[in-house]
Amino acid sequence: MRRPARRRAEVATRTAPAPAQRSAASTRPAAPKRRPLRSLATLAIVAGLVAAVGIPAYGALVPETDAKTIQQAAEEGAQSLIVASEVKSSVLQRDSYSATTEAEIAKKKAAAAAAARAKMLGSTASVNIDLSLVGPGTGPVRWPLAKITRIGDGFMSRGGAHHGVDLISPGGTPIFASTSGVVRVSQESYYGYGVAIVIDGVIDGRKVSTLYSHMRYGSRTVGVGTHVQAGQVIGLVGATGRAFGNHLHFEVKINGSLVDPIAFLRANAG
Ligand SMILES: [Zn+2]
């Protein structure tokens, strides 16, 4: 098999000297300063030639996304690095050539990065979900659904017993992480919440916890301990647990205190 070898070589050139390489170079007794440079340069030339011959449009179309993903992957170790690059190439081959405007290209880049990341982390979903989906917006806080068409019961309704907001949406609508953070809860049956996920993030020094519930069975893409990105697809709208119909019951806690999710989103999401 020649392709995996080629990808590995390419990854090596795109990544700055790995920690292992750096430390090896610094402890090497002879010619400590010039050698690492030379070997890196050689590697770059060799892999550059291979890449130029084998995958023509690869570097030209998606340099930034590529660098980011590889860097993220590098933090998680060499195994992930290779997996990420494999995911990447298949995504790019599928998507790169149809984009025309800059906005479209940016959107495709985000989708490619999301898919690579999700694949790298390993989705826990048993139903079919397009992992390349990304929620709208660019900031640290995002709306959990791409479109809010109808709001059901609001914050502190039902005599104060309703701790979130009901975002009414068709079953199967993708749900996006409202903030980046670490998944604290990811369960098929979480009290009356049914299928639910809780993400703990930090925004401006404050702990922001978001809860997504009544999700569709088998649709959770992330497990406990997973580090998610704002806008990452985490599951699908459903009606599990104590739910009257398909909707996302969404709660927000800041430093442990419940806040009105809609007010929070209106003030912060973008
Ligand atoms: Zn509710």
Structure confidence by residue, pLDDT tens digits, 249-267: 999 999 999 999 999 999 9
Instruction: From residue 142, give the alpha-carbon distance in Å to each of 51, 264, 270.
Output: 37, 10, 6
Q: Residue 56 is encoded by which pair of tokens?
A: 């023509």
Q: Are 257 and 178 in contact (CB under 8 A)?
A: no
CA of 115 to the centre of ligand 1 (A): 30
pLDDT, one tens digit for every residue, the chain (270 residues): 444 444 444 444 444 444 444 444 444 444 444 444 444 444 444 444 444 443 333 333 333 333 334 334 334 333 332 333 333 333 444 444 566 788 888 888 888 887 777 676 678 898 989 988 999 999 999 999 999 999 999 999 999 999 999 999 999 999 999 999 999 999 999 999 999 999 999 999 999 999 999 999 999 999 999 999 999 999 999 999 999 899 999 999 999 999 999 999 999 998
CA of 102 to the centre of ligand 1 (A): 39
Residue 26 CB neighbour total at 10 angstroms: 10
CA of 150 to the centre of ligand 1 (A): 13
- Measuring CA to CA, which residue among 90, 6, 91, 79 is closest to residue 48? 6
CA of 251 to the centre of ligand 1 (A): 8
Helix pair angle (78-95, 63-75), 10° resolution: 160
* Structural domain spans, the chain: 3-121, 150-268
CA of 269 to the centre of ligand 1 (A): 20
Give the span between the Cα atoms of 193 and 135, in whole angstroms.
Answer: 22
The residue written with tokens 């079953």 in the block is 171
CA of 151 to the centre of ligand 1 (A): 10
On the 0-12 / 13-18 / 19+ scale of CB atoms within 10 A, 7 is buried
Q: Residue 165 is encoded by which pair of tokens?
A: 């907001």
> In 3-state terms, the chain is what percent helix, strand and coil (to 5)?
40, 20, 40
- Give the distance from CA 13 to its chain's centroid: 24
User: Could you tell me how many residues make up the chain?
Assistant: 270
What is the per-residue pLDDT for 111? 83
CA of 43 to the centre of ligand 1 (A): 56
What's the CATH number of domain 150-268, 3.30.470.10, 3.40.630.30, 2.70.70.10, 3.30.70.1450?
A: 2.70.70.10
CA of 133 to the centre of ligand 1 (A): 25
| pTM confidence score | 0.61
CA of 13 to the centre of ligand 1 (A): 50
CA of 270 to the centre of ligand 1 (A): 23
CA of 262 to the centre of ligand 1 (A): 13
Give the span between the Cα atoms of 59 and 67, in whole angstroms.
Answer: 10
Give the span between the Cα atoms of 210 and 254, in whole angstroms.
Answer: 9
Q: Determine the residue type at 244.
A: F
Residue 84 DSSP one-character state:
H
CA of 195 to the centre of ligand 1 (A): 13
Phi, psi dihedrals of residue 169, rounded to the nearest 5°: -155, 150
